[in-house]
Amino acid sequence: MIELIKEMFSYHFMVRAVVVGALVSLCAALLGVSLVLKRYSMIGDGLSHVGFGALAIAAAVNIAPLYLAVPVVIAAAFLLLRINQNSKIKGDAAIALISSSALAIGVVTVSLTTGMNTDVSNYMFGSILSLSHADAVLSIVLSAVVLLMFVLLYPRIFAVTFDETFARATGTKAQLINSVIAVLTAVTVVIGMRMMGALLISSLIIFPALTAMRVCRSFKGVVICSAVISVVCFVIGMAASYAFELPSGAAIVIVNIIAFAAFSFAALLKKRA
Amino acid sequence: MAQIICRDLSFAYDGETVLSDINFSLDAGSYLCIVGENGSGKSTLMRGLLGLKTPSTGTITFNDLKPTEIGYLPQQTQIQRDFPASVREVVLSGRLNSMHGRLFYNAADKAAAAENMERLGIDDIADRCYLELSGGQQQRVLLARAMCATKKLLLLDEPVTGLDPVAANEMYNLIKLVNLCDNTSVIMISHDIHAAVRYATHILHLGHSQLFFGTTAQYRESDLARRFVGGERA
């Protein structure tokens, strides 16, 4: 095992992928706790499809993918949030609507221009090799911003997640905090989907939070536990992907499934005891 | 001068007026119960007082009371049932409105939370999960959070719904105690008319408009009270 990890880290691109991936996993896990509890679990999925559409268009017109995808996905996050507050279209329907539309636009763009090639497959299912040096630097900076914002706003994020009405009634700017959460989620989804793939990135947001909630009984406990689970699962998934030549995104999700099952089992045993 | 003055208030949803002609004023330290049938506009008025709903006409004036100095206890249904949070975390979140741009809780915030938990007898369950508590304990936690948010005005939306009679009585006594000891004004929506006339100093009876406002003694003598209480004298 140690030999394997040593060998893995002897490749420069692997080091880069693991650093970026660990940071993204951390961001996704922290935001995920709030999103899952606010019933926004599917927002990651919706945004990743929008991200795919944006990346496809960026590739077609030859702009650096992240520079187009980040603003477009942030705009989509705001849109989803606004529609969610409008009671006429319910949140889940709105997400399904936007995500399938974006996916369709992306697919059409791809087939009109480059055709279905490995690039497209990388966006769909993720690839550690698709990460350029410039992408890596940008990803690290963005993840650092997301982490910092989360830590600084922690008490407010708790208040808005637990009881938004109370938070608003006592003067917390709940709308602003919700918008910040949406922007941070959008950024995390875009930088994460290069590695995880558009189809799998939402699992990075949902799984660690749900796994942590099996055993932890306080918000802080869930947040910390979820962060640790996410990073550990990512590293194990990466190692498995390297050792067995599996797509990295899928391998990481499988490890997360195993962790979820293990924690659920532990919670069951604890209840019996 | 009165602490709260409502003048010619009315509220509408989608252009349709649901509550109109609200005129009352309350002094600091009063205990007002808002009563009335379902859909009579009680919750709408409370949302208005909280600043969550803008009145379509009229004004609400607060004297010596900032909008951020109001404590609120929402209806139980608004709280998520599967939320992992400890009692301490929930109570502490009531201090957010007094942070004024500060990012983290300081020692004074933690002391205030600890004091309110002790006063309501929940300091021994501070590290328990909010979800695992009984209904009565959960309501005390939310009351402690509301008390962390204010010394001046508590707004309570049906605080005893779903509680057994013993827990409901305890809750009423705690609220009265806070009202008397701290001179905190209380405005409570209640379905329990008997408790309302027992504890409150003032009654506001709504039915899409203001049917009655006055002291509890005046209310007891009114025809409205006789009808609403169902023949027996409250």
Q: What is the pLDDT of residues A26-73, one digit of tens each?
A: 999 999 999 998 888 888 888 999 998 998 888 888 887 778 888 999
Whole-number Å distance between alpha carbons of B130 and B141? 8
| B86: phi then psi, degrees, rounded to nearest 5 | -85, 160
β-sheet bridge partners, residue B20: B209
- Per-residue pLDDT for A82 more than 80? no
CB contact under 8 A, B78 and A163: yes
Interface residues of chain B, partner chain A, Cβ below 8 Å? 50-52, 67-68, 70-72, 74, 78-80, 82-86, 89-90, 92-94, 96-97, 99, 103-105, 127-129, 131-132, 145, 149, 155
Whole-number Å distance between alpha carbons of B136 and B154? 18
Q: What is the pLDDT of residues A190-243, one digit of tens each?
A: 888 877 888 888 899 999 999 999 999 899 999 999 999 999 999 999 899 888
- Per-residue pLDDT for A119 more than 90? no
- Per-residue pLDDT for A264 more than 60? yes
Using alpha carbons, select from A66, A57, A164 the residue that is nearest to residue A102: A57
Nearest CA in chain A to B150: A170
Domain span including residue A157 = 2-272
| Residue A105 CA: distances (Å) to CA of A63, A258, B98 | 17, 35, 48
Whole-number Å distance between alpha carbons of B38 and B45? 13
CB A252 within 8 A of CB A202: no
Helix (H) or strand (E) holding A67: helix A65-85
- Per-residue pLDDT for A89 more than 90? no
Do strands B210-215 and B185-189 pair parallel, antiparallel, or not at all (unpaired)? unpaired
CA distance B208 to chain A (A): 23
Would you list the DSSP string of A119-140? HHHHHHH--GGG--HHHHHHHH
Q: How many domains does chain A have?
A: 1
Q: Is the dihedral of CA B20, B25, B29, B33 positive or negative?
A: negative
Whole-number Å distance between alpha carbons of B154 and B179? 9
Residue A93 vs residue B147, higher pLDDT: B147
CB B209 within 8 A of CB B63: no
**What ipTM is given for this predicted complex?**
0.85
Whole-number Å distance between alpha carbons of B45 and B47? 5
Sequence-distant (6+) residues with CB within 8 A of B98 are B68, B109, B149
For the purposes of burial, counting CB atoms within 10 Å of the CB of A213, is it exposed (0-12), middle (13-18) or buried (19 or more)? buried
β-sheet bridge partners, residue B32: B187, B202
Indicate the residue of A152, A156, A213 with minimum beta-carbon distance to B96.
Answer: A156
Measured in residues, chain B has a length of 234
Q: What is the pLDDT of residues B65-105, one digit of tens each?
A: 887 788 888 886 555 667 889 999 999 998 888 887 788 88
CB A29 within 8 A of CB A209: yes
Under 8 Å CB pairs connecting chains A and B tally to: 87
CATH number at residue A198: 1.10.3470.10
Taking the whole predicted model, whether its pTM rises above 0.90 is answered as no
CB A156 within 8 A of CB A177: yes
Residue ranges of the alpha helices (H) in A86-132?
91-112, 118-125
CB A187 within 8 A of CB A146: yes
Q: At CA B4, angle to CA B24 and CA B90, rounded to 5?
A: 125
